[in-house]
Structure 1
Amino acid sequence: MKIFLAGASGAIGSQLTTALVARGHEVVGTTRSAAKADALRALGAEPVVFDALDPESVADAVAKADPEVIVHQLTALSGPTDFRRAKQMAAATDRLRTVGTDHLLAAARAVGVRKVVAQSNAMWMERIGGPVVDENGRIEPNPPADAGETVAALRHVETAVTGITWAEGIALRYGAFYGPGTGVELAPDAGMAGQIRQRKFPIVGGGAGVWSLVHIVDAVSATVAAIERGKRGIYHVADDDPAPVGEWLPELAHVLGAKPPRRLPAWLVRMLAGEAPVNLMTQARGISSEKAKRELGWTLRYPSWRKGFIEGLG
């Protein structure tokens, strides 16, 4: 198929480009930076530099590509992850998930795209019920005020994409990525791994929030399966071992050769960083990916982060 991959130079986009080209698909890959065009070309994609927040830029790029499928992997989640920059990246990503999504869908409809696959994530599943939820679960309707825009943006991309009637619309709720290119890897001082090595990524409160993780190679293979075989709706994409932060974070620090993470009381983190990080560390719920395995024929290389941390961070 001819696939328009928005966000082809990102953490998942670059590896997804390679995987799609290897399977015989023709990929038109977008980037915000002209400097990254040659790298995309080297991966086998036709590079396009565009601004996802400019409707004319998006419409022109999609019209010229005339794809059968659009894959929306646009985020601004890259570079250093200090708190101030994290807030800026989150705000920019929110815009890409609202305004950017709307522009992509309008352009897709205009050229007769038959499938749209978009990135969501599972960090803000509703905070009720047990520790693990399937696709019947919904995005948290009452998030902390300082997470309101981010959660609304996730809800928007899911509702907008799965609600289209003129094509198959699929939203992928990914678990937290780890592995090469994600910042959670062995590369020196890479993203979150750098924070863990510097003991700047603490366990908050009891660390009871349950996170689902997914190695980047498994996230890529699930996305390929959704592009090729997915049906309208939502699929969860994570490994089979959701676990509390207080369990997996010390293991990750150990594999990275770091000292154990600090433990900070929730009241202190709430005062310094807000309610959202406290909520994620203490109340998050994991996800089940049984639907993706059953309906897409998806198999995991790393069914558990326990093995993935040891074998898959390099």
Structure 2
Amino acid sequence: MTQVTFDFCQQSSGHPVQVANPDRRAREPTMRVLVAGATGAIGKELVPRLVEAGHEVFAMVRSESGKSGAARLGAVPVIADALDRSQVEAAVREAAPEVIVNQLTAIGDIDTRHFERSFAATSRLRIEGNDNLLAAARATGVRRFVAQSNGAFTYDRTGGRVKSEQDPLDRSPIAPMASMIAAVEHLEKAVLSADWTEGIVLRYGAFYGPGTSMAPGSEQMEMIRKRKFPVVGDGGGVWSFIHIADAAEATVAAVENGGRGVYNIVDDDPAPVAEWLPELAAMLGAKKPLRVPRFIGRLAAGEAGVVLMTELRGASNAKAKRELGWHPAHPTWRQGLQPVA
């Protein structure tokens, strides 16, 4: 049985960035914005959009080698290891931002058989790195703090198939996913309880598009093309997707217009695996995916892989559209994945 892997999203990309709202500069205020994680997949889409909007953007990078990449995006680089509190505070003091955007992750290919290990570095960043940024933000009087969270596979797996921001995260996670969800909960609680700033949490869906695991020619796409990505069980797990460019646009909206709280950043079309996977295979010109029972899926992809395939709940974007004035340019993965496929 071929191993099934899922790789959600934070890889770098050399693709040129297209800014969806080039006239934003003329109508939005200018702010000083510090982006941590500026050279990841979403950071590479976000930073040029903030610059285009007229904001003065600073990119927190870990070493001298990251400075040129940040500069190419249009940002002023400041150096700090996110896990070193004194370095983070020095970088934040140097940038003196009004807004901090935390996009810190360290996600590569996710082996669902070793899910906890795949997320260990990112979980540490969501706890220690985020706490360091918050401490520096408090010390320097940052007025708005926007943080990346996860709405793709963290919601409680009971009840309705589509969740709003008021619904709880998974209250009884399986063991391999428990530490990842605990780190998300830590980050969200820390940001939302910081009464000295305007804390905003963005729960992104599963990314696709340039720089992600669902990019043209990616390993995941090739697995689907070669029928090595089967539907497990009934394929009833509901996924909410978001194009990486739409995620960046929503983040700009949160920076400029967001109020304290949580926002699901997903498209309009949550869909079960049994629906989206065969349709994507058809876009790729491939045969329908194989179907395997849960016990075979567990052997190949582990318990986490079975949960992702059969038990996930999707998310609603109604609040983000209503309160941020944001609408995804790719309202459905059916449209957005066509050029990717």
- 1:146 aligns to 2:188 (yes or no): no
Residue-by-residue CA offset, 1:28-74 (whole Å, 9 max, x unaligned): 11233543321220111012332111112211111111111110101
Q: For the residues of structure 1 that align with 2:294 and 2:329, how far apart are their CA atoms? A: 35
2:14 maps to none
1:31-110 to structure 2, matched below 5 A, reads 31-32=61-62, 34-78=64-108, 80-82=109-111, 87-110=116-139
SS in 1 for 2:263: strand
2:220 maps to 192
- Tell me which moved more, 283-292 or 82-91: 82-91
The AA in structure 1 aligned to 2:148 is Q
2:140 pairs, out of 111, 122, 126, with: 111
Deviating beyond 6 angstroms after TM superposition, the runs of 4 or more aligned structure 1 residues are none
CA contact (8 A) 1:9 1:30 kept: no
In structure 2, do the counterparts of structure 1 residues 259 and 95 end up closer, same or farther at CA, with 3 Å as the change threshold?
farther
2:58 maps to 28
Q: For the residues of structure 2 that align with 1:305 and 1:237, how far apart are their CA atoms? A: 13
TM norm structure 2: 0.86
Q: For the residues of structure 1 that align with 2:111 and 2:222, how far apart are their CA atoms? A: 10
1:227 maps to 255
Residue-by-residue CA offset, 1:64-95 (whole Å, 9 max, x unaligned): 111111101011113x4455786544111111
SS in 2 for 1:108: helix
2:336 pairs, out of 294, 308, 312, with: 308
The AA in structure 2 aligned to 1:4 is L
- Tell me which moved more, 129-138 or 198-207: 198-207
Q: Which has the higher contact order (CA 8 A, sep 6+)?
A: 2
CA contact (8 A) 1:51 1:58 kept: yes
In structure 2, do the counterparts of structure 1 residues 209 and 253 end up closer, same or farther at CA, with 3 Å as the change threshold?
same
> What are structure 2's unaligned runs of at least 5 residues?
1-30
Q: For the residues of structure 2 that align with 1:40 and 1:85, how far apart are their CA atoms? A: 32
SS in 2 for 1:47: strand
Residue-by-residue CA offset, 1:5-29 (whole Å, 9 max, x unaligned): 0000001011100110000011111
SS in 2 for 1:268: helix
Give me the CA root mean square deviation: 1.8
2:299 maps to 271
SS in 1 for 2:33: strand
The alpha-carbon deviation at position 259 of structure 1 amounts to 4.2
In structure 2, do the counterparts of structure 1 residues 298 and 84 end up closer, same or farther at CA, with 3 Å as the change threshold?
same
CA contact (8 A) 2:146 2:202 kept: yes
The AA in structure 2 aligned to 1:207 is G
Q: For the residues of structure 2 that align with 1:48 and 1:82, how far apart are their CA atoms? A: 33
